[in-house]
Amino acid sequence: MIFRLVTITLLLIGCTEHPASTTCGQTGSLYRQALYPIGVALDMMELNSSAAYQAIATEQFNSITPENIFKAESIHPVRGFYNWLETDSLMSYCERTQKRVHGHTLIWHVQLPEWIRSFHGTKADWELLMKEHIQTIMTRYKGRIAGWDVVNEAFNEDGTLRNSIWRQHLGDSYIEKAYRFAREADPNALLFYNDYNLEVSPTKRAAVIKYFNNVRLRGVKIDGIGLQMHISIVHPGSSEIASALMDVSANEYKVHISELDISVNPLGKNITATTELLGEQANLMGAILLHYRQLPTKHQYGITFWGVSDRNSWIRSTYNRIDYPLLFDDNYQPKPMYCKAIELL
C-alpha cells in the first residue's frame, strides 16, 4: 500500500515524525473514492527526485496540473525556441500512469520571459506573438491535454480588467482573442478561465461571469471557470464558498477548484500544527467537499490541490511564514484534512 512505501522511503532519507501526521484507520486513494477527478499541482524536480512525492502523486491523484513548466518563462524562454524537455517528461509520466493533464497556463501577466516583457511591435505583432505562443503549445499536445487555463488572473478585485502587458498592447479584446486562438488549436480541449478570490469577492466573481457570458454570446466557447481557492481556516466561511460554486455552475460553466490549499496561519504567527488547528482545517475541507457534491455532475470538473505536501507549498516561500496548508505533512504523512477527504469523497 502507498503509506507503507512512503514510510520505508522516509526511514531511508532520515526524516523525523512531524506532529501533523495522523492515521485514518485505513489506507486509501482519494481519486479511487471520488466521483470526479482529484488533482494535484506537480513540480518536476520533486517528482523526479523524491520517491515519497512520486508515490503519493501516483496513488492519490488522477488529474495533474503542472505547477510552473507550462508558464511562458519556462516553456518559451527565448523567441522562436520552446523548451519541451520538462513538459514532454510530465506528459510521459501522466500517460504512463493514466492521469488527466490540465494545462496551466497560456496567457498570464506574471512569469513572462524577458523577451516578451521587452517586446516592441505593433498591435498586429503582439497579436501574432500571442497566437503563435498559444497555438504552438496547444498543437504539440492536441488531444493529450484535457483542459487549459487559457487566461489567468485578468481581473482586479473591483471587477475591472487588470492593466496587464497583454491588455496594454492588445486592448480589452485580448482575452476573447486568446480563447479564439485556443479553440482553433484544439477544438476538443476544454477551455477555462482561472483566478483567485472568486470565492470571497462577489463583485469580482460577477464581473468574470458577466464578461465570459458576453464572450459566449459572440460565439466563443468557454467551458469552465477555475476558482483557485487559496483560503484559510479564518476566511472565507463555508456559506461564501457554497455561493461561489453555485454562482459559477448556475451560469453553465464547469467548476474547477483549481489551486486548493487551506492555510492555518494566515497572519504569520509563530505556531505549531496543533490538533485544534488541523481539526479546523479538516472541517473546512469537509464542508468544501459537501458543497462541491451539490453541483450538477456535468459541472464537476474536479478539485486540484496546489501541492503534494506542506513542505512543497508555495505559501512558505512566497510569504516567508510557517504554514501547513496541504493534505500531507512535511514527512509525507496524511493529515486530518486528508482523512476527512477520504471519509467524505
Annotated catalytic residue: which of 127, 176, 259, 280?
Answer: 259
Total structural domains within the chain: 1
**Do residues 231 and 262 make contact, with C-beta atoms less than 8 angstroms apart?**
yes
Per-residue pLDDT tens digits for 1-42: 333 333 323 322 333 334 445 566 556 899 999 999 999 999
∠ CA 48-52-54 to the nearest 5 degrees?
Answer: 45
The cell numbers describing 1, all together, are 500500500
| pLDDT at position 3 | 33
The C-alpha atoms of residue 108 and residue 165 are separated, in whole angstroms, by 9
Q: Which of 153, 176, 199, 280 is catalytic?
A: 153
Give the cell for residue 287.
Answer: 464542508
Backbone conformation region of residue 284, classed left if phi is above 0, alpha if psi is from -120 to 50, else beta: alpha
- Amino acid, res. 269: K
- Is residue 259 part of the annotated active site? The answer reads yes
Q: Chain centroid to CA 250: how far? A: 22
| SS3 of residue 226 by DSSP | strand
137 lies in which domain range?
A: 2-344
Whether 33 contacts 60, CB under 8 Å: no
343 is catalytic: no
Beta bridge partners of 107: 151
CATH of the domain at 54: 3.20.20.80
Going residue by residue through the chain, which has 345 residues, state the pLDDT in tens, using 9 for 90 and above. Answer: 333 333 323 322 333 334 445 566 556 899 999 999 999 999 999 999 999 999 999 999 999 999 999 999 999 999 999 999 999 999 999 999 999 999 999 999 999 999 999 999 999 999 999 999 999 999 999 999 999 999 999 999 999 999 999 999 999 999 999 999 999 999 999 999 999 999 999 999 999 999 999 999 999 999 999 999 999 999 999 999 999 999 999 999 999 999 999 999 999 999 989 999 999 999 999 999 999 999 999 999 999 999 999 999 999 999 999 999 999 999 999 999 999 999 999
Question: Is residue 159 helix, strand or coil?
Answer: coil
Cβ atoms of 70 and 138 within 8 Å: the answer is no
